[in-house]
Structure 1
């Protein structure tokens, strides 16, 4: 008889007039990696909140390894059944790795904390799960990948053998993603079960055995991954036949007029990079997390100060390391982390959408009007401009970030991971905005780890160890680009 790590049957959940889950079910076999996919607003987050004891369903039942779920009030019992590693980390940066591993469990006996014993047990726990970090290190010094592994180790130490990974790869580069997948496979061999939630559909095929699709708060299909093609999976998610429709820009008009000029720019993790972007041109930047691509883009829009070189917009030099100066010069930005850099979650859509233009007093009526325009222009699914952005799905939050970047009608757009953590339709919408803005004559730099994001570009520059090592014109092949990203550019040149 098949053993299930987690089962939800007939689950319904409403929030006011919003039906978040409509009689949905999911059965997750012990020892497998089971993918849960769907567009933003499909009900995935609500199901996770129910599977982790954060919400009580209006109807239906949940069980773990054949036992009914504990009462919601018994948080300790829930932690022994299930753990969740969220896209937004839950570790405490100011504490050490050891303290985070045993947070709220520091009393290891005798009523007092034995720091020596705590560090020893932390070392043993990290060694058990092959997590190569120093237990005395502050979590704030760890990489995103290391923080995730600490969270997984903490969950397993409590006794849970069912782990939910919610968008775990959103901030990881290719090699880090592969290491995470290897760790997942190793833990599966030891009896750990994963519910894997991702908008990156290719990852589903790489690491999962079963996939469940939700759409519009309903269960659509559950099937073995090997038996579901990617077009069929997208159709199940969207209700429409076909795959991802990304604007190629083939018919975009070109112009010889330079808008952005970067000359011999050096800074954190990159050096001596020069490029120019013409009106209507979209340039992609690709590379690993250590390539310097993020740091270069953040230097262009003023978040980091360059150590050498200049940045000019429409012929005028922009003061480095000064975001207000970059905005004034006509550089708009979608930063790489919308939660910490792109939005103020407690503020409204209208307040967030106009934030980059609020150098002077903005009348509330004008602010609300701008918020309404953003909702209409970027297809934000919201109750109105006064709704807090914290209430929105990830895809709609990202659309608000895009609206804010464009609010001042900039000449140059710097877009870092512009479609991170969004569904297929939101991805199409956001990349469509990039294409539309380029057709209006704006220059854009798109920095992304997702190849689909780069298909909107006229050319793609690959960075490796802080240097531009290769340039690809539109029409590049995946294998060529990936090889250059992984550092095989010289070998490819030799082979040619």
Structure 2
């Protein structure tokens, strides 16, 4: 398969095959060609050159409708749900069951309920999709795809919005589909998922196929080297931690919803402090509470020995605290606005960008170019909408906003979620640069190797409480993981 967009080669003579009853993973950096390939397979747009066959029958062209008719279903990162319709209406949209002019609502409700029960997804059928959480929308998308009984199922980062428990239910459903002979194309940046779920892996880099391997025959390190073209030991930079004065001190902090209970910790200049724990343990809520996004019922927040009476985002920004949310799509970025506008939106009061109430709009492009270059944004299309960029590049735009002015404390919540290994390296190098420049960096992540390799100290949370603090010589997985479940190492 070859695909060109306006003369740009997005996919260059890539071969790919999917067998009955296998899970075939696609692995590659953002921009490697994964999305282009699965869109070709799903009929979203035509290929420029190449040959395509399904069940041994060659096809000269493909559309989404034809793909569905021959048994191909896709669940993409961007949802295709109608927000003003209910869950039930979305599940049957375009394929309603009827008798004459009348909808068979009871039959549709029964079928939808059975499907959601089989998947283990708890989503109210009569709820309007606009009011669902992102995780619930992901569940509806998956259920919608499976309702057509596909022979080929494409899953593009399906667990990015799911908790560990919800993801396990999806994996169980995948195992049942595989046993029925359904072929599954699985796109993920999570190496553990690829290792545990897939039979084969195809690695793409720069629009070209690097190779297809049997998952059991290659190590994680080997897959990463195929993907990025360099050994895995070069992924994490060596950070020189030089802990100095206390920048942030939290004492007995409890949030209104009880998601954080009596949390206390300190973070110093010149060090990375990590927060570990399962999804839902309270580490994200703790970061949000410190920045003023979660109401606090008791406890104190101190910045440089000064108590912050009522933390709020505006007050914390003024006190040189920067927060990067875990969900860049809904909280971190204005997706319909340009890269330029997203990068400068919290820095418009800087003298370099404004005089009094007047914006120096002609200076914006010059001012933002350095932070975006430092983060290796590709392409450097400053007037393009952020929604047009890959997940890794969207993350870089959000991070560039924090480089527009100096901060004393940086709060990173899941800084590498949904981005490829190459983009992760850029984020790790940013953290190194900030810490060695004297900043205090706090990283909350579900990726334990990141904390082991980046942090000088790690706090572990369980059910809203900090249950352990681990120093430099206590940061192996064997020492950390027991605390995830409230135990001791």
Give the structure-2-normalised TM-score: 0.91
Contact 1:39 1:423 in 2 (8 A): yes
Distance 1:45 1:77 in 2: 16
Q: Does 1:279 align with 2:279?
A: no
Query: Any idea what the Cα deviations from partners look like across 1:429-452, whole Å, max 9, x if unmatched?
Result: 101111210111111111111113
Contact 1:262 1:311 in 2 (8 A): yes
For 1:88-487, what aligned pairs fall within 5 Å after superposition?
88-92=78-82, 95-139=85-129, 145-243=135-233, 245-249=235-239, 251-255=240-244, 257-267=245-255, 268=257, 269-318=259-308, 320=310, 322-359=312-349, 361-454=358-451, 455-475=453-473, 476-485=475-484, 487=485
Query: Any idea what the Cα deviations from partners look like across 1:370-403, whole Å, max 9, x if unmatched?
Result: 2211222211122343333233222122111111
Q: Higher mean Cα deviation, 53-62 or 315-324?
A: 315-324
Distance 1:412 1:361 in 2: 29
**Residue 60 of structure 1: CA displacement?**
1.2
Query: Any idea what the Cα deviations from partners look like across 1:4-60, whole Å, max 9, x if unmatched?
Result: xxxxxxx11111232100111100111111010011111011112111111111111
Contact 1:375 1:381 in 2 (8 A): no
User: Secondary structure of the equivalent of 1:24?
Assistant: coil
Distance 2:309 2:60 in 1: 58
User: Secondary structure of the equivalent of 2:114?
Assistant: helix
User: Secondary structure of the equivalent of 1:449?
Assistant: coil
Contact 1:70 1:78 in 2 (8 A): no
Distance 2:370 2:382 in 1: 9
Distance 2:471 2:382 in 1: 40
What CA RMSD, in Å, does the superposition of the two structures yield over aligned residues? 2.4
Contact 1:248 1:457 in 2 (8 A): no
Structure 1 pair 416/340, CA: closer, same or farther in 2 (3 Å)?
Answer: same
**Residue 235 of structure 1: CA displacement?**
1.9
Contact 2:459 2:468 in 1 (8 A): yes
User: Secondary structure of the equivalent of 1:372?
Assistant: helix
Distance 2:67 2:163 in 1: 35
Query: Any idea what the Cα deviations from partners look like across 1:329-353, whole Å, max 9, x if unmatched?
Result: 2111211111111112232222211
Distance 1:463 1:361 in 2: 46
**Residue 131 of structure 1: CA displacement?**
4.0
Contact 2:302 2:308 in 1 (8 A): yes
Match of 1:46 in 2: 36
Query: Any idea what the Cα deviations from partners look like across 1:417-466, whole Å, max 9, x if unmatched?
Result: 10111111211110111121011111111111111321311111111111
Structure 1 gaps of 5+ residues are 1-10
**Residue 83 of structure 1: CA displacement?**
1.8
Structure 1 pair 127/179, CA: closer, same or farther in 2 (3 Å)?
Answer: closer
Corresponding residue pairs, total: 478
Structure 1 pair 197/361, CA: closer, same or farther in 2 (3 Å)?
Answer: farther
Distance 2:296 2:83 in 1: 27
Give the structure-1-normalised TM-score: 0.89
